[in-house]
Chain A
């Protein structure tokens, strides 16, 4: 197990390096140099420009610039925001917990609702319930998450006035306050995951139900409930859990949009403001952070296989 974990982590390194090169290159391709962007329309005079080039390391060869930049990123120095005039790490530090909280909450909501509904659809296949559940799943798959967000704001925020629709809870509003503020954005983000998880849970369970060992279990007189709980679910949930874990990419990407809909102060709204303000150090750091997060989560999902399914050997 230990060796496998280390090997997976080592395998991550080349991908991480490629991702960082891609991020670095993309932002380097921005038309106009960073000093022009920093000084805006007035522009910088020759001396200031030379001094800034030296400070920012722009007078060095590109490869060296990348190495220096990557070294700074690894050591936690994510650069300095042109606009907010504070270190990017500080900005991300303020915003990241909000995004992670939102992503985690929506993951919990999606899993708690979708897996039972999908499993039930498989057990009661070809009934009215199954048909209804799958039709609902297909519809939720087709609604853009931000549009359902707008609808929720309209109904629960503006018409009924039950829940806050903008921003996170102010400090000191307690657990209930936090939950109240988080409900609408988390439900919206979860909706995008609901349909696809339901369908997958259904098809995985169905596939498992058709296998020989299920027939054997039934033939030996095991109660259907036990067949489902002890055998079928145990074996089919692996696929579903893996799949949900791999949706980290969807959730983080979706969070960017949902944060804007609900003015949620996370990294998503941070990066959009940064793009519109051409605040490149922030853009670069957030994009790198998102890509790294997605890769790390996928690796963790890989590593959890044997916990759920002892048949999977970590070699």
Chain B
């Protein structure tokens, strides 16, 4: 049984706490998780950007080969029920997934960070009003919110993304708020206030930068949740609509032909898993770097 409780802190922990200006980039490069996941992410982004060059066929073109063609040199991942090339569709589908992750987490950050800052810094009634409002949004599971929006605005990728921004905003504002509460209690904030600095200056110059670590980790995780949710909603037929491409939509089509061509469901499933795994792994890596308390806990120190 390990007796780590009495072990002295590891040398690198000491170095970090002594360093005056920690550089995020050098920390990132030292974290294996971060380097691996950033490498994977770069690869996925390249695939999405270079989709027109990389995909062997036009992803919408039917009868590029026989229906349900098994994997071959012409169609490395096979062809679907209309004879469309699966590899090309997977490559193009990466765009919707990455866009979902990126737009949803940026949207949630844009809304959630200011709200969390205000709630945490102002406290009192502003805090109550903002956080109760967030509770309301929090009561809607992402898929259910997206379904509601689909019913109201109509089906499509845009509707889904809008709904997901709204449901993930509360989690950003909560994380921001609690980080702000932690930072606000520090002596240097008290000092800044005593020096007569303005509230706005204190918030932007001191509180915001020092609260961002957990928020960045949360944003990375929201990317993975958003990709999963978009895929699920498209699978239900309420998100991305044909003839656009989405891995969720491919899975939905594939499940109709599962007994004939099970590999049709395999590829989009693996693709979603790989991208979500990348963001989860990146989130873990960033948490190790940005949240020292969590880091020592996870290492078992």
Chain A contact residues, CB within 8 Å of chain B: 14-15, 18-19, 22-23, 26-27, 29-30, 122-123, 125-126, 138-139, 141-147, 150-151, 153-154, 158, 203, 206-207, 209-212, 214-215, 218, 224, 249-250, 252-254, 256-257, 260-261, 271-272, 275-276, 278, 280, 283, 287, 290-292, 294-295
Stretch at the interface among B48-56, B212-220, B228-236: B228-236
Q: Known: A138-B277, A153-B258, A275-B238. Is A125-B5 also a contact (CB below 8 A)?
A: no
Tell me which of B4, B6, B148 has the highest count of chain A C-beta atoms within 10 A of its own C-beta. Answer: B148
A211 / chain B contacts, CB cutoff of 8 Å: 5
Stretch at the interface among B20-28, B81-89, B108-116, B268-276: B268-276
Chain B contact residues, CB within 8 Å of chain A: 1-6, 132-133, 135-136, 138-144, 147-152, 224, 228, 231-232, 235-238, 248, 251, 254-255, 258-259, 262, 265, 268-269, 272-274, 276-277, 280-281, 284, 294, 296-301
Contact present for A26 and B135 (CB under 8 Å): no
A256–B299 Cα gap in the complex (Å)? 37
Tell me how many residue pairs across A and B have CB atoms closer than 8 Å.
Answer: 168
A215 / chain B contacts, CB cutoff of 8 Å: 5-6
Contact present for B140 and A290 (CB under 8 Å): yes
Per a CB cutoff under 8 Å, which of B143, B231, B237, B280 touches A256? B143
Q: Which 3 A-B pairs have the closest CB atoms?
A: A253-B141, A125-B300, A142-B277
Q: Known: A138-B280, A150-B269. Is A19-B151 also a contact (CB below 8 A)?
A: no
Contact present for A126 and B300 (CB under 8 Å): yes
Chain B, interface SS category: helix
Contact present for A147 and B272 (CB under 8 Å): yes
Q: Known: A138-B284, A154-B258. Is A256-B251 also a contact (CB below 8 A)?
A: no
Chain A, interface SS category: helix
A142 / chain B contacts, CB cutoff of 8 Å: 224, 272-274, 276-277, 280
A283–B151 Cα gap in the complex (Å)? 8
A144–B265 Cα gap in the complex (Å)? 12
